[in-house]
Amino acid sequence: MGHGGRALCRYDTICVMRPVALGILTFALATAAGLAQGPDAADPVVVSGDHPRLFLRAGRLRLLRRERERHSARWQQFESLIAGKAPMPEAGFAQALYYQVSGDRAAGRRAVAWALSASDLRQMALVYDWCQDVLTTAERDQLISRIARRTGETAALESIPGVRSRVLAAAALFDDVPALAGAPDLPRRELDRAVHSWWEGRVAPALAAGRAAVPREDAYAMMELLHALADSARLDLRESASAYFAEFPIEHLMSYYPAPYHTVGGDVYLGATRRAGAPDLDEAVLSRAAELAMVAFDVNAPSTQVLQGWLMHDRFQLHSPLGAPYEFLWANPYQPGLSYYQVPLVYYNPALGRLYVRSSWEDDAEWFGLFDGAMQLFRDGRVTALDQHRTEPLLLDAAAICFAGPAGGERGGWRLTLEDAQPVFVVGLEPRRAYLAEVDDEEMFEAEADPAGILRLDDFPQGRGSGVRLRPVPAAPK
């Protein structure tokens, strides 16, 4: 798998990245016109542009205001919640967004009042950025001080959501340093630390090398981070892990359980998780929001065009007080999409050791997932945890899964009859261990298991029963 070149991109000339093949489709990390190489590690991160500079760039704001003029379904849903004084879980974000689109100063004042007594750094930053015209001088200074103080209080949070929130705060305050008595360089320091120390120094190298992945529940926070730096500093962080982000939208899509989950506010898809118990519906909302934001970030990439095709089914629109503002902010119903039925039913990332297999793209499909140490089967509306002690292979329409068990593949092997050309995956092997693979009537070959103990076998014989056996390659004598 290819990795990106320079650490960052700027929106000045076109960045060329290596395409990543995914079965019958090639999902390239296509970037918006005007991308160029980014700064060296010593270059400061500079924010430019008037408020609003977070998410509501001129083109998006024009689209949202047109949606209001056209009384689109998404606008009507959002407006009805605000007008009906529905309790909004993210009141600052929702009221400030409504103010920016409608011009309703009362909504802007409600957002400011909320922010002056809040502790949510992300929403405080958005209110400050989006509600400049309704802030008094005293309120502006007070909100700047509160944001600066909260930035310091959360400085130890190195998670994606924590860094995202501080980046939003730093970008929002960047030109307003006179009010930061004693810390006039706080926004610059925070942005440089986030981009150079945290991203370039730790996160991007780990993603590019396959040592880490963005937790599924942090996908939306990651997209807000990408949007914030692209909008305010004209930086594209994806360039330093281009291969990872080329597959990011499709992995997100393939990691959904197939059957929709029915709620009072509409149907949602649930992402694969190791957690037991009731599903986290807020997480499901943010999962869809992440996909909407992926499309908004790069509308030309084939992978995000597939997501657009997936997202534009009306039954999955977000109607809840939490979800409606996200649906309205990021959705673009006028953007054409590609059919997700073109996406291969097998997603395998050998660098991260992740495997997802679907039997079809229908809601009643069977699904297998191996991710983050979990191995699951979704069938008949239920998730079942699997382990490597299973003796019989799992045969799905798109792939066959063989389970190595405690013997690590030395228990005599497996016998399979495959009618169509499909890959065979052996799971439960020793991570990064080399094995000798022998298939009936085929020449023996050597292959290495990935970091999760998965080994892929291609070109398996079709139309007849064939045995496959594995044995570890003996360790070299010391």
pLDDT tens, residue by residue, 404-446: 875 444 556 888 888 787 899 999 999 999 999 888 878 888 9
| Spatial contact of 307 and 295, defined as CB atoms under 8 Å apart | yes
- Give per-residue pLDDT as tens, 235-250: 999 999 999 999 999 9
Please, which pLDDT band fits residue 32 given cuts at 50, 70 and 90?
A: very low
What is the pLDDT averaged over residues 209-225? 95
Orientation of helix 105-115 relative to helix 121-130, angle to 10°: 150
Sorted by sequence, the CB contacts under 8 Å of residue 199 that are 6+ apart come out as 237, 240
Whole-number pLDDT of residue 36: 35
What is the pLDDT averaged over residues 287-308? 94
Sorted by sequence, the CB contacts under 8 Å of residue 402 that are 6+ apart come out as 393, 414, 416, 424, 425, 426, 427, 468
Whole-number pLDDT of residue 24: 28
pLDDT above 90 as % of the chain: 70
Whole-number pLDDT of residue 42: 65
| Spatial contact of 302 and 336, defined as CB atoms under 8 Å apart | no
Whole-number pLDDT of residue 296: 96
Whole-number pLDDT of residue 8: 38
Whole-number pLDDT of residue 182: 57
- pLDDT at 399 > cutoff 50: yes
Q: Where are the alpha helices (DSSP H) in 103-218?
A: 105-115, 121-130, 137-153, 160-173, 186-192, 204-208
- Give per-residue pLDDT as tens, 63-114: 999 999 999 999 999 999 999 999 999 999 999 999 999 999 999 999 999 9
Sorted by sequence, the CB contacts under 8 Å of residue 467 that are 6+ apart come out as 413, 414, 415, 416, 439, 440
Which residues is 357 bridged to in the sheet?
346, 368
- pLDDT at 129 > cutoff 60: yes
Give me the phi and psi of 31, to 5 degrees please: -105, 160
- pLDDT at 130 > cutoff 50: yes
Rg of the chain over all Cα atoms, to the nearest angstrom = 24
- Give per-residue pLDDT as tens, 453-469: 999 988 878 777 788 88
Domains and CATH numbers, the chain: 9-341 (1.50.10), 346-472 (no CATH)
Whole-number pLDDT of residue 37: 38
pLDDT above 70 as % of the chain: 87
Q: Tell me the average pLDDT of the chain.
A: 87
Greatest distance between any 2 Cα atoms in the chain:
82
Token pair belonging to 295: 């499309």
